[in-house]
Structure formats: C-alpha cells, structure tokens
Structure 1
Amino acid sequence: MVSEEITSPQFAVLNTLVAEPGLDQRTVGERVGLDRSTIAEVIGRLVTRGPLGKVRDPHDGRRYLLRLTEEGERTQRKLAVRAARMNQVFLAPLTDEERTRFLGLVQRVSDAAEGLRNAGETPAGGR
C-alpha cells in the first residue's frame, strides 16, 4: 500500500542505510533480519534499479560498503512519509491509550523474535 515499486525488505534496507550509511551487505542483512541469499538478492535489485550504490571497502577489498544514491534518498524519504500516513490510518480507530498499548505489544513481540533469531534461545517465561 506504500509502494508498488519497492518491496518491504527493500524499504527496510533503505531505512537501515539512512540510519547507518556505509554498512556492508552482511551487516545490513543482520539489521533487517534477512538471510544471506535473500539480502544478496534484495541488494542486487536495489543496485540494478539505482537507489543503492556500493563501493569496495578500502580496509577489506573482499567486501562492499553500501550507500543510498540521491535517487535512493529521495525514494526513502517519499516512502517514509507514505508509511507514516498509513500508520496513522491503521491506528486511527484506537484511542491514545490503546495505540500505546498496541505498539508496546508489537515491540515486545519484535524484541522476542530478534532474541530468538540472534541467540537461539526460548522466550522469557517459556511463553
């Protein structure tokens, strides 16, 4: 609903590189929770289409560092605005209290999933 050109994983990559420009592909994959083959495909498409550029790491010639191009920065800004509007529409039926509770619960689930992915451990309390 936010974009017909950029997928959710691609948007996650753009957001990650706005926050942390110059990351390598492996690190971006870790940040957005994608496996090696999937992140390689996502980054390949973004490089081919133009929003993303890559340069060889001057400290390690085996890896590439990723940066948004001007097109990528424009695309990310445009989609961030659309996503924020969409969030407002989705959350509009909730009261402020319900919205805060809902977002807190979503964050808790997300944190638990991240913990499982990173550590291979069971959620706290066995829930």
Structure 2
Amino acid sequence: MEFTAPQSPAGLHTTPSWLLNQAATYAGRLIGEGFAAHDLRGYHYRLLASLAEDGPASQADLGRRCGIDRSDVVAAINDLAGRGLVVRAPDPADRRRNVISSTEAGAEVARRMGETVARVQDDLLAPLSTTERAQLTRLLTRLLEHHSRH
C-alpha cells in the first residue's frame, strides 16, 4: 500500500500531530485488512489475546484489561461465543457474573491473529532499522504515558 499525502497546507505535513495521525490511519488500515482475513476485528483480537495471556475473566474485567467499553465487550463476546471461540460460565464466587474463557479454537485464532499483527508491524515499520523501531516505540510510549496522566 503506497502512502500519498493529501493536499493540505505545506506546513501541516511537518507537524508531529499530523504525521502521527497519518501513520495511525495507515496502521489502522493495515491492521483492519489483516484482521478481515480472519473475519474478525480489533476488539475480537484484544479480547482473545487478553484471555490467552491473562486467562479467564469476567466481562467487566476483560473490558478494563482491554480498554473496551462494556457494551462493546458484550457485543464482541456474543460474536466470539457464537463462533465457538469463547465460552461463558457462571462465576462460582458470584453467580450474577459470567466468567469468559477461551476455547482451544479461540486460542488458535488469537495465535494466528498475533502473527498477523507481527506481519503488519513489519510492513508498517519496514523503512526503519531495528534500533529506530525500538526508539520509535520508546518515544510513543513516553508520549502516551505523559498524556494518560493528564
């Protein structure tokens, strides 16, 4: 996929906010295309990856872990359950809550989607050296940490 800068004021093209926005748009498009090959979306991956990494959780805890709004968690879990990728079971400690667990099929899909994410990172960051990729990640992390406190 080739990047073509839109026609806008020349000075805008050198501002970090504009560059970050354009890079995020491009990254989102790449990730979206990669996930579409699995017939899934970003929410699905975040939930499956969280279950694979951290184990079963209530819907509310999953939403907090993944930074996904409660109503979106419910819709995504419904979709994943309908595909046989997760199961709901009553929480033994609190029967009013459901605990969500990944199935074997869900764990396999999470693994394959993780491979897709890795390929997208390689495509997105192709012009950067390993050192530059690490530096970019550190700088973006620092920016996000700063702004998440404010």
Would the TM-score normalized by the shorter structure come out above 0.5?
Answer: yes
For residues 90 and 55 of structure 2, the distance between their equivalents in structure 1, rounded to whole angstroms, comes to 14
Which position in structure 1 is the counterpart of 2:86? 52
Which position in structure 1 is the counterpart of 2:57? 23
Task: Name the TM-score, length of structure 1 as normaliser.
Answer: 0.83
Residue 106 of structure 1: how far off its partner (Å)? 2.5
Within the alignment, does 1:63 sit opposite 2:92 as a pair? no
For residues 23 and 63 of structure 1, the distance between their equivalents in structure 2, rounded to whole angstroms, comes to 10
Residue 43 of structure 1: how far off its partner (Å)? 1.1
Q: Given residue 103 of structure 2, which amino acid in structure 1 is its aligned partner?
A: T
Given candidates 12, 34, 37, the residue that maps to 1:2 is 34
Residue 49 of structure 1: how far off its partner (Å)? 1.7
Deviates more, 1:12-21 or 1:90-99: 90-99
Q: Secondary structure at the match of 2:127?
A: coil
Within the alignment, does 1:74 sit opposite 2:108 as a pair? yes
Give the number of equivalent residue pairs: 116
For residues 114 and 35 of structure 2, the distance between their equivalents in structure 1, rounded to whole angstroms, comes to 10
Task: Name the TM-score, length of structure 2 as normaliser.
Answer: 0.71
For residues 117 and 46 of structure 2, the distance between their equivalents in structure 1, rounded to whole angstroms, comes to 12
Distance 1:76 1:103, change over 3 A: same
Residue 85 of structure 1: how far off its partner (Å)? 1.6
Residue 80 of structure 1: how far off its partner (Å)? 0.9
Cα RMSD over matched residues? Answer: 1.5
Distance 1:83 1:55, change over 3 A: same
Which position in structure 2 is the counterpart of 1:119? none
Q: Secondary structure at the match of 1:15?
A: helix
For residues 78 and 59 of structure 1, the distance between their equivalents in structure 2, rounded to whole angstroms, comes to 33
Instruction: Identify unmatched segments of 5+ residues in structure 2.
Output: 1-32
For residues 123 and 96 of structure 2, the distance between their equivalents in structure 1, rounded to whole angstroms, comes to 45
Identity across the alignment (%): 28
CA shift digits 1:3-26 (9 cap, x unpaired): 211100110000100111111100
Structure 1 or 2, whichever has the larger Rg, is 2
CA shift digits 1:47-81 (9 cap, x unpaired): 11211111111111001111111110111111111
Which position in structure 1 is the counterpart of 2:142? 108
Deviates more, 1:65-74 or 1:103-112: 103-112
